[in-house]
Amino acid sequence: MAKKSGRRSSSVPEKTVQVKEKKYAYRIGIELEDYLFFASMEKGKVAETASLLHNYALAYAMGWVDSLYFNEMQSPQYEQQLQPLNEQGVYVYPAVPVHISHRMMQYNTTDEAFLMKRTQSMGYPNWGFIKCIRPGSTFETYILSHDPIPIPSKIRLGKWMSLASITMQEVLLTKKKGNTCPHMVNIQDIACLPVYFSAMYNVLPTRLVQGVEWDEQLDGYQISYGDHRNVWVPESAFWWWDK
């Protein structure tokens, strides 16, 4: 059953984000060649990996974003680091699963650290369970761009830097208004909150929703491929709104 969501308050000022018109579209297939893990949910000693790929993670994995190897403080800089992609007119939507399976693994280790030093007791290792995604699982998403862009054939994802292969198909893109999107979208990256969605994923750093509907026509694009397959997606930009 669809859930109803709120609307962005009219009292919240809109940021000045440069949104370039997209002229090219690519249908992207992603297949895992290794176990994939990222902690999207933690229940006690169990860390679970959600059945999706966040679009911010994909932007970094594609090699589009310049980021430091080491940060003294864990203070994400998504807005600053992703803004150049908005200026270039490049956007990738979250990836949804096509075929996916999970595996539960147990770990038993000491805490990870660059400097190992003996504390009062080493007799209590860090342990727990990880629910990760198996190799061979596949995902699908779309990349839109203002100009033609190179897309790598291999990327690495997750906390284990798991290898994944990419297949790319250039597809037809038409600028079109719409109010229904079957694909997953990032709440942080769209101009108007939807009124309905069929699924919501509370993953960091932003929420993702799927099966989305709006009560008005929005700017966006129709992606066409295959046997009259059409998918409408809303105009989006990385980190469009402040929290």
Instruction: Please write the tens of the pLDDT for every residue from 137-184.
Output: 999 999 999 999 999 999 999 999 999 999 999 999 999 999 999 999
Q: What is the pLDDT of residues 17-58, one digit of tens each?
A: 778 999 999 999 999 999 999 988 888 889 999 999 999 999
Per DSSP, helices labelled H in the chain are: 55-61, 78-88
Please give the Cα distance from 70 to 73 (Å, whole number). Answer: 9
Edge-to-edge order in the sheet of strand 199-201: 185-186, 208-210, 199-201
CB 58 within 8 A of CB 66: no
Domains of the chain: 3-65+77-106+127-234 (3.30.70)
> What is residue 11's predicted lDDT score, i.e. its pLDDT?
38
Residue 155, token pair as written in the block? 């990327």
What is the value of pTM for the model shown? Answer: 0.86
Q: How many CB atoms lie within 10 A of CB 198?
A: 13
Mean pLDDT across the chain: 87
Phi and psi angles of residue 211, each rounded to the nearest 5 degrees, phi first: 65, 60
Q: What is the pLDDT of residues 88-99, one digit of tens each?
A: 999 999 999 999
CB 241 within 8 A of CB 8: yes
> What is residue 122's predicted lDDT score, i.e. its pLDDT?
55
One-letter amino acid at 191 equals: A
| More confident: 116 or 18 | 18
CB 47 within 8 A of CB 131: yes
Residue 85, token pair as written in the block? 């992609």
Residue 184, token pair as written in the block? 């997953």
DSSP, collapsed to helix, strand or coil, labels residue 89 as coil
Q: State the pairing for strand pair 138-145/96-99.
A: antiparallel
